[in-house]
Amino acid sequence: MKRVTLVLGGARSGKSRHAEGLARRHKGRLVYIATGEITDDEMRLRIERHREDRGAKWMTIEAPLDLVAALQEADHTSALILVECITMWINNLIYHGMDVAAQVRRLCGALPEMRGQIVIVTNEVGLGIVPDNALARAFRDEAGRANQALAEIADEVLFIAAGLPMTLKKARPARRKGRSKG
């Protein structure tokens, strides 16, 4: 697996299941950074179900706002960090009146400095109709810009539809030292 893998897709596309499957292949420490906030009973139950599904071998860090600090806390050469998910994080940033673009730049600046492997889950929100209100359009725009920025720096980008992964970007293999171009 590549160092930074971006997994995107629509709601119920299978993106989280696929990302967790990638992570389960990892032999080292597994860290789950959860960006969701408990805002109601349904969300509380959803979060509890996700924790139970993952099992005890995952260390969980809750990071609804300061994703970079959570990544830095979890980072280790033996770690695989799964971030779930960027669009929930953006929702939280907007709700709390934070500068989304600045936080995305901060995240994109921090990712290349990480020593472990990172799998980032995000929703592709730009395939539907144009939302009918300004807040929803702002969210869609921020999420789309964040996805583009993350895809640019990711080593690998996967799009999941109906549970099927499609590779959008694949990292070039590292060249061995001492070998000529040929």
Residues labelled catalytic: 50
Q: What angle do CA 9, 11, 16 make, to 5 degrees?
A: 65
Q: What angle do CA 38, 160, 120 make, to 5 degrees?
A: 50
Burial of residue 134 (number of CB atoms within 10 Å: 0-12, 13-18, 19+): exposed
CB 9 within 8 A of CB 160: yes
C-beta atoms surrounding 56 within 10 Å: 7
